[in-house]
């Protein structure tokens, strides 16, 4: 991974004197909520966290799910998962869908005028119900024993992800349902043989979002970016604790 990691980035840094909107992705909002110091180092000083390894299997599941739902999108029909879960909706057809899905370069965007921050997010899927409300959908993949859910403490990030997408679509003048869905694919480990294929149980998990926290968070990020003082770290931040401990050891060696 080292060949792809730039420990001192020179581009995409926040400049308080610039008139151009500054792009803040959904993942950077989550970074700020996880640790303001890491966010400041990344967005203002160009020192990002080292990247993790890519989740290639998860990406493959995402791609296959999108292809499957797109077949029903083109036909204007319900996916079998919607039928089995009695969901009154069909995949939403829109000319900008591929743009909205492109989390890296495009996504669905909204310029927050008071801060000049361009908030972005790349959604997995969008459905629409008979009332014309858009339903935000996120794909997840894992392999674990027992029923999957979104109740673990660390899964608050999943819920915030859903809420940011709902907020972005509302800011773009869409009528958005409060309830979104996680299409959660759980890889089976109890089958008799591998047979060159991985089988999944698929669960549809509803989640009623609350985006009331987002506006304040945007202003908090803006305040953070416009200070010259390094923010306090999150005491539970593994990255900051590693840096502080390593620096102390090096200083005393």
- Domain boundaries of the chain, sorted by first residue: 77-215
pLDDT given for residue 104 in this prediction: 78
Beta carbons within 10 angstroms of residue 54's beta carbon: 9
**Tell me, what's the pLDDT at 1?**
41
- pLDDT at position 71 over 80: yes
Give the span between the Cα atoms of 209 and 164, in whole angstroms: 9
State the Cα–Cα distance between residues 157 and 31, nearest whole angstrom.
10
Q: What is the pLDDT of residue 8?
A: 75
Tens of pLDDT along 15-63? 999 999 999 999 999 999 999 999 999 999 999 888 776 666 777 888 8
Encode pLDDT of 4-17 as tens digits: 666 677 788 999 99
Render pLDDT for 222-246 as a digit per residue (tens, 0 to 9): 999 999 999 988 999 988 998 889 8
The confidence score (pLDDT) of residue 9 equals 77
How does 148-168 read in b/e, with b if 16+ C-beta sit within 10 Å?
Answer: bebeeeeeeebbbbbbbbbbb
Dihedral sign of CA atoms 97, 103, 231, 45 in order: negative
Class of residue 131 by CB neighbours under 10 A (exposed 0-12, middle 13-18, buried 19+): exposed
Query: Over the range 87-117, which residues count as b (16 or more CB within 10 Å of their CB) and which as e?
Result: bebbbbeeeebeebbebeeebbbbebeebeb
Length of the chain equals: 253
206 backbone dihedrals φ, ψ, rounded to 5°: -80, 150
Give the CA dihedral 2, 3, 6, 12, nearest 10 degrees: -130
Q: Is 146 helix (H, G, I), strand (E, B) or coil?
A: coil
CB 209 within 8 A of CB 162: yes
pLDDT digits (tens, 9 = 90+) for 75-124: 999 998 899 889 999 999 999 999 999 877 889 999 999 999 999 999 99
Q: Are 43 and 28 in contact (CB under 8 A)?
A: yes
Write down the pLDDT at residue 100. 95
Instruction: Pick the most confident of 155-164, 188-197, 201-210, 242-251.
Output: 155-164
Q: What is the pTM of this model?
A: 0.89
Q: What pLDDT, on a 0 to 100 scale, did the predictor assign at position 23?
A: 96
């Amino acid at each position: 991974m080292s060949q792809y990691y730039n420990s001192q980035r020179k581009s995409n840094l926040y400049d308080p004197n610039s008139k151009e909107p500054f792009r803040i992705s959904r993942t950077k909002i989550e970074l700020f909520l996880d640790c303001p110091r890491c966010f400041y180092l990344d967005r203002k000083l160009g020192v990002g966290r080292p990247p993790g390894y890519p989740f290639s299997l998860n990406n493959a599941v995402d791609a296959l799910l999108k292809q499957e739902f797109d077949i029903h999108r083109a036909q204007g029909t319900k996916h079998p998962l919607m039928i089995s879960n009695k969901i009154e909706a069909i995949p939403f057809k829109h000319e900008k869908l591929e743009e909205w899905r492109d989390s890296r370069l495009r996504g669905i965007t909204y310029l927050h005028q008071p801060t000049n921050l361009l908030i972005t997010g790349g959604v997995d899927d969008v459905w629409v119900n008979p009332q014309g409300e858009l339903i935000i959908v996120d794909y997840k993949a894992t392999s674990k024993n027992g029923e999957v859910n979104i109740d673990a403490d660390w899964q608050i990030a999943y819920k915030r992800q859903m809420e940011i997408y709902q907020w972005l679509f509302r800011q773009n003048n869409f009528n958005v349902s409060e309830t979104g869905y996680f299409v959660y694919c759980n890889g089976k480990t109890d089958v008799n043989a591998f047979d060159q294929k991985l089988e999944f149980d698929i669960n549809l998990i509803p989640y009623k979002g609350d985006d009331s926290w987002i506006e304040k968070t945007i202003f908090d990020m803006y305040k953070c970016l416009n200070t010259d003082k390094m923010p306090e770290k999150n005491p539970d931040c593994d990255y900051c604790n590693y840096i502080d401990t390593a620096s102390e050891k090096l200083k005393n060696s």
